[in-house]
Structure 1
Amino acid sequence: MSKWNMIINVGRCENCHNCVIANRDEHVGNDFPGYAAPAAAVGDSPIRILRRTQGSAPMVETTYLPVMCNHCDDAPCIRRAGDAIRKRDDGIVIIDPVKSRGRKDIVRSCPYGAIVWNEEQQVPQTWFFDAHLLDQGWQQPRCQQVCPTNVFEAVKLDDAAMEKKAEKEGLKVLKPNLATKPRIWYRGLERWETCFIGGSVSAECAGVVDCVQGAEVTLSQGGKRLAKATTNEFGDFAFDGFPGDGSTYRVEVSHANGRVWRDCVLSESIYLGELRLVRPGATDAPGGPDAR
């Protein structure tokens, strides 16, 4: 049977909050019996935009991550709530607005923090995929309709087809170690989960310091080369997709104007700053060829 899934394209989100606003416009003050009680005008939103800022000036990267109910196939909230939450045949999780009344404990059952408490109605609520619209024949939830950068992509496939699509396109889920079998997938999640190492290469020629284009930069660990890059017209380079687990890496730069190296420990994305090339034979520059 075909079931609903949502694919979120990480890197396309620009923090416009259209999805959040549209969700509140759809639900604040509007009662949808069987689906949800009216959402509160004041309070947490079931759709949130998380922000991660990496690096330091001038090499800074900001990533926004939309998060909401994952509509898990093995949902901890269902195990906690009993018949107050149901899983539909099409994969959508619905918190019953009547049976869940007063059940604040359901909010704490979600390991993703995707359930909010409606103080006005005394009910837990979440993003229920706008199932009330899909049941009327709509093909997209509100968040997808209003997104100007095509962050959201709702797809309805059987489980085997969805798994095949996820494998082919490199889709991932949040916190896979929880084994909750989410139906919210992320494309490009490594941008959120991994780190980069960057820097700027310069050299002094005829008394003038300038950036160096075309310098060869290698990244290694324990003597093993991991990646290679070439500096751009601003002398900048970056290696991305590495875990921030406290590992030590070595960056080595080579060019006709000289060489330089730096060691760094990667726990968060790091900008190494200016790496000034040193000509062979120089002994007074840290990180130069004779400083090893």
Structure 2
Amino acid sequence: MDKWNLIIDVAECHNCHNCVLSAKDEFVGNDFPGYSAPHAAHGPAVIRIERRVRGSGHLSDAAYLPRLCNHCDDGPCLKAGADGSVRKRHDGIVIFDPVKAKGRRDLVDACPYGAVVWNEEQQLPQTWFFDAHLLDQGWAAPRAATACPTRALQAVRATDAAMAERSQREGLRVLQPELGTRPRVHYRNLHRIDCLFIGGSVVATVDGRVECVEDAEVSLAQGGRAVATTRTDAFGDFRFDGLATGSGAFTVDVHHAQRGQAQVAVVLSDHSITLPTVRLN
């Protein structure tokens, strides 16, 4: 059967916090029997946005990662709340029962993603429950998704097979797949959060003036093997993204038919690298 999934495009999230505010507005002070007790006005939110900055100078890159309940098919919270405190609906949505989960602070620690918050006043663990109360009334998407001005959050209802095929086709990934929780929240452009880049700017001296070099061929090699190639833009900039942390030593080769060539050695450890200006000879 079709089940709910959420696709989040990291490249389209601009930290406006509309999703965070819409969830606060929907949940705080409002009681939805069977779905959720009123959420707390203060304290951790069930939707939060994390910021990741990579690189430096004119090639610095800031990206934002919305985090919320992943509605995992095999989540540790489901095992910990097997007494009915936590249940998985047939449409894939995970619900923390506002009655049976009373006093179950241990369910907060059961989530490896930190997506469960503790409501001290209600003595309840609470999550973003996919706005199931609205979907059951006929809404086409959760309020958090409809509030996003860039459509960075997109609710999708599909079979597991169709979602797996789409993830493969569009390069969607989930957070911490090694946990084996089978999340239903999928991310596009997640490399801007968990990968590194090597970038730089290329210049050459032309008639006594230093100018940016456009359309130079730039190749990235490791251990004598080509890893990727690209070309400089109108500002002479280039970037190789999606590199794993601790990748080690690389060689960057730049070549332009009229302006010359250059080679730079670089070691990638745990931070993205913006190279010093590359000057062609």
TM-score when normalising by structure 2: 0.94
Q: 1:149-228 residue pairs with structure 2 within 5 A?
A: 149-228=150-229
> In 2, distance between residues paired with 1:50 and 1:68?
11
> In 2, distance between residues paired with 1:183 and 1:253?
42
Q: 1:1-292 residue pairs with structure 2 within 5 A?
A: 1-82=1-82, 83-255=84-256, 256-267=258-269, 268-278=271-281
Does the residue aligned with 1:58 lie in a helix, a strand or coil?
Answer: helix
Q: Structure 1 residue 89: deviation in Å?
A: 1.1
The equivalent residue for 1:288 is none
- Considering only aligned residues, what root-mean-square deviation do their CA atoms show, in Å? 1.4
TM-score when normalising by structure 1: 0.91
Does the residue aligned with 1:160 lie in a helix, a strand or coil?
Answer: helix
> In 1, distance between residues paired with 2:111 and 2:186?
17
Which 5+ residue runs of structure 2 have no aligned equivalent? none
> In 2, distance between residues paired with 1:243 and 1:198?
14
1:21-68 Cα distance to aligned partner (Å, 9 max, x none): 000000101111111111101010111111111100111111111111
> In 2, distance between residues paired with 1:152 and 1:183?
13
> In 2, distance between residues paired with 1:204 and 1:138?
61
AA matched with 2:98: P
> In 2, distance between residues paired with 1:61 and 1:269?
10
User: Does the C-alpha gap of structure 1 residues 125 and 252 become closer, same or farther in structure 2, counting only changes over 3 Å?
Assistant: same
Does the residue aligned with 1:25 lie in a helix, a strand or coil?
Answer: helix
Contact 2:81–2:87 (CA<8 Å) still a contact in 1?
Answer: no
Q: Structure 1 residue 138: deviation in Å?
A: 1.0
> In 1, distance between residues paired with 2:230 and 2:79?
49
User: Does the C-alpha gap of structure 1 residues 212 and 163 become closer, same or farther in structure 2, counting only changes over 3 Å?
Assistant: closer
> In 2, distance between residues paired with 1:97 and 1:175?
28
Matched residue count? 278
Q: Which moved more, 1:165-174 or 1:202-211?
A: 202-211
Which 5+ residue runs of structure 1 have no aligned equivalent? 279-292
Does the residue aligned with 2:277 lie in a helix, a strand or coil?
Answer: strand
AA matched with 1:274: T
Q: Which moved more, 1:183-192 or 1:60-69?
A: 183-192
> In 1, distance between residues paired with 2:207 and 2:165?
59
> In 2, distance between residues paired with 1:228 and 1:181?
34
Contact 2:28–2:38 (CA<8 Å) still a contact in 1?
Answer: yes
1:200-236 Cα distance to aligned partner (Å, 9 max, x none): 1122344432222232221111111122222222221
